[in-house]
Amino acid sequence: MDRTVRPDKVPARLGGRRLVAVDTVEMTFLVEDDVQFRAGQYCRVDLGTLRWKDRKTSRKFSMVNAPSESDRIVIATRASDSGYKRSLDALVDGDPVTIERIKGDLVLPEKRRRPLSFIAGGIGIAPFVSMLRELDHRNALHDVRLVYLNRSASSAAYLAELLKLAEDNPGFEIIPVMTRDESWQGERRRLSVETLRSTHGEPRDYDHYVVGTPRMVRAAVDALSDAHVKRSRIHDEDFSGYDR
Ligand SMILES: Cc1cc2nc3c(=O)[nH]c(=O)nc-3n(C[C@H](O)[C@H](O)[C@H](O)COP(=O)(O)OP(=O)(O)OC[C@H]3O[C@@H](n4cnc5c(N)ncnc54)[C@H](O)[C@@H]3O)c2cc1C
């Protein structure tokens, strides 16, 4: 019997957590029946009751695992002092949560027409981690370029894993950009037409996916538009909770 479900509310339990950068935690929620989603989509994680007061008991998070790992929902998030995040941090293994409303249009194209360009700011890397893991799982990790912007290397979630993936897959290139890291030997400039030309050659040759804070997404879309990339070839999603 196919036990794969895609209901609105999926009961789950915390299965574990690990640090993936400074103040950034990956959390694994195990589900009873297999759960279906597409790489790049997001869900709401509802804690039901909160240990610290907040206006809402849930937040949206992109899945970072590949859909082939259908017995779990894995998310990555930055710590904050909101009542929700403090309550999330206080969960212990086995604690119940509800995974709600899996959705999102930022997904891999059914058919690839051009090379893929991923542009991530900070924890905006989350949906790309799922996509890259999925492409790797399908042996289809080629013609993909990732520009990954962060303040510093220590705050860049999954950096080591992504660098390793690029080492193992010559068709996947990662350009880490650390805008405020004096010790960073690589690229430190923010996105602009000039930096896009140096990383992509001709940006019009790609389908672009952009995820980050609203401000970062706006800046990236503007730079791509300045480089004459058609709007229909830019797919973007902003993590609206990171606009402070
Ligand atoms: C599609 C999508 C995917 C996302 N994926 C991820 C992910 O993978 N990982 C991740 O870490 N985050 C993700 N986010 C963001 C996430 O949902 C949270 O918004 C974010 O983590 C901040 O949560 P918080 O509890 O720290 O802040 P919040 O308390 O939620 O504050 C967020 C914003 O709301 C404002 N605010 C706070 N209180 C009020 C109030 N009473 N009235 C009005 N405004 C208020 C704050 O000033 C702030 O700007 C995603 C968001 C979207 C939309």
Chain segment 21-70, per-residue pLDDT in tens: 999 999 999 998 899 999 999 999 999 999 999 999 999 999 999 999 99
Distance (Å) from CA 147 to ligand 1 centroid: 23
Q: Mean pLDDT across the chain, nearest whole number?
A: 93
CB neighbourhood size of 71 (10 A): 14
* Beta carbons of 108 and 117 less than 8 angstroms apart: no
203 in the Ramachandran plot: left (φ > 0), alpha (ψ -120 to 50) or beta? alpha
Q: So what's the pLDDT on residue 201?
A: 87
Q: Is the CB of 128 under 6 A from ligand 1?
A: no
Q: pLDDT band for 92, please (50, 70, 90 cuts).
A: very high
Residue ranges covered by each domain of the chain: 9-103, 116-242
Cα 231 to Cα 130, 198, 204, 208, 223: the distances in Å are 24, 21, 11, 10, 12
Query: Alpha-carbon distance 151 to 38, whole Å?
Result: 29
How far from chain centre, in Å, is Cα 14?
20
- The closest-lying atom of ligand 1 relative to the alpha carbon of residue 241 is 19
The residue behind tokens 């503007």 is: 222
Partners of 14 in beta bridges: 29
CB neighbourhood size of 220 (10 A): 26
Query: Alpha-carbon distance 39 to 48, whole Å?
Result: 26
Distance (Å) from CA 33 to ligand 1 centroid: 28
Ligand 1 pocket mutation pick from 129, 239, 244 by most atoms within 8 angstroms of CB: 239
Q: Which two tokens stand for residue 201?
A: 């050659």
Which numeric CATH code is attached to 116-242?
3.40.50.80
CATH architecture of 9-103: Beta Barrel (2.40)
Q: So what's the pLDDT on residue 141?
A: 95
Mean pLDDT of the region 102-114: 92
The percentage of the chain sitting over the pLDDT mark of 70, rounded to a whole number, equals 96
Partners of 209 in beta bridges: 118, 235
Ligand 1 pocket mutation pick from 128, 236, 242, 243 by most atoms within 8 angstroms of CB: 242
Q: So what's the pLDDT on residue 199?
A: 87
Q: Which residues of 13-42 are buried (b: 16+ CB within 10 A; e: fewer)?
A: ebbebeebbeebbbbbbebeeebebbbbbb
Q: So what's the pLDDT on residue 12?
A: 97
Which residues, 6 or more positions from 183, have their beta carbon under 8 angstroms from its beta carbon? 153
pLDDT of residue 3 exceeding 80: no
Q: Is the CB of 57 under 6 A from ligand 1?
A: no
Q: Which residues of 127-152 are buried (b: 16+ CB within 10 A; e: fewer)?
A: bbbbbbbbbeeeeebeebbbbbbbee
Q: So what's the pLDDT on residue 33?
A: 85
Q: So what's the pLDDT on residue 219?
A: 94
Taking alpha carbons only, the member of 184, 199, 140, 189 closest to residue 165 is: 140
How far from chain centre, in Å, is Cα 142?
19
